[in-house]
Amino acid sequence: MNNILFDYIAKYMPLTDEEKKVLINLNLFRQVKKGTILLEEGQRSKEGYFVLKGCMRRFHIIDGEEKTTNFYTEMQGETPECVLTKSPSSYYLSCVEDSIITVSTPDMEAEAFAKFPRFETLCRLVSEDLLVKNQASFDDFKNSSPSQRYENLLKTRPDLVQRVPQHQLASFLGITPQSLSRLKGRLVKGV
């Protein structure tokens, strides 16, 4: 588990053995079962998550219906807004698969930053990278038809089609499961 995280971090900056030890001593790693709710609407939390293996789903419940707004798979993370705002969460976060994740808090981050100030630079670099990717993804979503959204998903995140239930995938695309079935059928026929 450690090496998966360290390899990811190495894309941004190499870590010394001492820095790796600090991260290991923070006790970040958790194995979480499929279906586990990590965060509920209305809950206050100080925990941020990063997926090493598995899949998490962010969703809202609106008029009794689940609306999926994102999936987080390997090497993707989510710091719920309630961690930063210190207010109750406006959404849910759950595991779609058995997962291995890291769990961190602002206190843990402060401890790491105090010992190694360049961790703050690392977090900024990772955050900037995620911000750019999220904005591009949001723009693509808002400016495309359901068919284009599905085709884009097949190009950029094809694993989701096999990993998540169809009703969750349809919700993520902003369509009904029936519409998703029709889209899949049309693509198979080449129409």
Q: Evaluate whether residue 172 is within a structural domain.
A: no
The total number of structural domains in the chain stands at 1
**For position 104, which CATH number holds?**
2.60.120.10
In the numeric block, which tokens belong to residue 39? 């965060």
pLDDT digits (tens, 9 = 90+) for 2-19: 788 888 888 888 889 988
Q: Evaluate whether residue 132 is within a structural domain.
A: no
In the numeric block, which tokens belong to residue 88? 């109750």
Q: Evaluate whether residue 11 is within a structural domain.
A: yes
Q: Evaluate whether residue 169 is within a structural domain.
A: no
Q: Which residue has the tokens 């100080």?
A: 46
Q: Evaluate whether residue 185 is within a structural domain.
A: no
Q: Evaluate whether residue 46 is within a structural domain.
A: yes
- Its domain, for residue 79, covers 2-116
Is residue 134 scored above 70 in pLDDT?
Answer: yes
> Phi and psi dihedrals of 86, rounded to 5?
60, 25
Instruction: Report how far residue 39's alpha carbon sits from residue 172's, in angstroms, rounded to the nearest whole number.
Output: 18
Is residue 191 scored above 70 in pLDDT?
Answer: no
Q: Evaluate whether residue 135 is within a structural domain.
A: no
Q: Evaluate whether residue 27 is within a structural domain.
A: yes
Is residue 160 scored above 60 in pLDDT?
Answer: yes
Mean pLDDT to the nearest integer, 139-156: 91
